[in-house]
Structure 1
Amino acid sequence: MLDTAHLVLHGLTLKQLAAAEQLADIIDLDTAVIAAELEQAAAAGSVLSARGSAMITPAGRAALDAVYPAAFADRRADDALVRTLADFEQGINKRMLTLMTSWQTVTVDGVQQPNDHADADYDGKVIDKLARLHDQVESVLAPFADADPLTKRFLSRLGAALAKVDQGEHDYVSSVRIDSYHTVWYQMHEHLLRVMGAERDE
């Protein structure tokens, strides 16, 4: 497991640029605790802070990479988790990428172009596929959710984003400005790779 200081740095690797409040949503720590850790990390050169947000520095990333093997040794040695990540990478994650392409683009007369979301029936079919995929990712990643509190939290955040989509807030499918389904998925994927010491396969 990561200690609090390294958990905050880990959160920054998933969000890239974040305020303490945003990190609290990801790593489930008190905002005041995160703010204090960010201040100490900035003093140590592990973080750059400006206008209320922070990002990890190369030195901070190197320090974090150095502690990952010991912090996650038990999970990396778990054959069931290794297989689960491989199944996720080769199966459901590739389907997610295809689904997001379907959401963001349409094919007209054989030419792919940006989706203006004027066709509600088309968008509705993509959203139906997203709901089915969500049911499957919860099942596929159940071993990680059992072993890793952050994975369980990510699955909950995905469910919250999907609920927003179901309520008609379709920006929650893929907008980068909010915690959309795609945004949270990307963070979760990066977390799984870092936990297991794997490379992104895309």
Structure 2
Amino acid sequence: MLDAADFVLHGLTLRQLATGEQLADIIDEDAETITTHLDAATADGKAIAARGAYMITPAGRTHLDGLYPEAFAAQRGDPALVDTLADFEQGINKQILAVMTSWQTVTVDGAEQPNDHSDADHDAKVIDKLARLHDRATVQLAPFADADPLTKRFLARLEIAQQRVDQGDNDYVSNVRIDSYHTVWYQMHEHLLRVMGEERDE
């Protein structure tokens, strides 16, 4: 496991640029404590700060890369988790990405164009498929949720985003300015890859 300071730094890799409050939503820690750790990381050259937000530096990433093998040795040595991630990568993850593409673009006369969301039937089909994939992802990633509290938190955040979509707030499909389904999925995927020592392939 990572210690508290390095866990905060790890959280910063999942959002790229974040305030203490924003990281608190991701890793479920006190925002004031997070900011204290981020200030210390900035002083050590592992992060940089600007206008109240923080970004990890190459030195910070190198630091974490050196810690991950030992910190996540149990997860990386678990055949069930290795197989789960492989299935996830080749199946539901690719399907979720395809759903997001379908939400953001439409094909008109053979050419892809930004989706202006004027076709309610198209959008309804995408939302229905997202809901079905969400249910499958929750089941498939249960082994990770059991082994890793942060994955469990990501699944809970995805459930919140899905509920917002179900209630008609379509911004929660993929809006990058909020904790939309796509935003949280990206963060969770990055976390899983770092835990298991894999590289993003898309």
Report the TM-score range of the alignment, normalised by the length of the smaller protein: over 0.9
What is aligned with 1:127?
127
Distance 2:31 2:104 in 1: 34
What is aligned with 1:183?
183
What is aligned with 1:112?
112
The aligned length equals 202
Q: Which amino acid in the other structure matches residue 126 of structure 2?
A: V
Distance 1:12 1:35 in 2: 11
Q: Which amino acid in the other structure matches residue 199 of structure 1?
A: E
Distance 1:154 1:174 in 2: 16
Partner of 2:49, secondary structure, is strand
What is aligned with 1:5?
5
What is aligned with 1:58?
58
- Deviations along 1:74-119, one digit per CA (max 9) or x if unpaired, are 1000000000000000000010111111101111222211110011
Which shows bigger deviation, 127-136 or 117-126? 117-126
Distance 1:111 1:13 in 2: 35
Percent identity between the aligned chains?
72
Coordinate RMSD, CA, aligned: 0.7
What is aligned with 2:15?
15
Q: Is the 8 A contact 1:138 1:155 kept in 2?
A: yes
What is aligned with 2:163?
163
Unaligned runs of 5+ in 2: none
- Deviations along 1:5-58, one digit per CA (max 9) or x if unpaired, are 111110110000000000001111111110110111111111101111000011
Unaligned runs of 5+ in 1: none
Distance 2:78 2:100 in 1: 31
Which shows bigger deviation, 71-80 or 38-47? 38-47
What is aligned with 1:73?
73
Give TM-score scaled by structure 2 length.
Answer: 0.98
Any runs of at least 4 consecutive aligned residues in structure 1 with deviations exceeding 3 A, and if so which?
none
Q: Is the 8 A contact 1:106 1:115 kept in 2?
A: yes
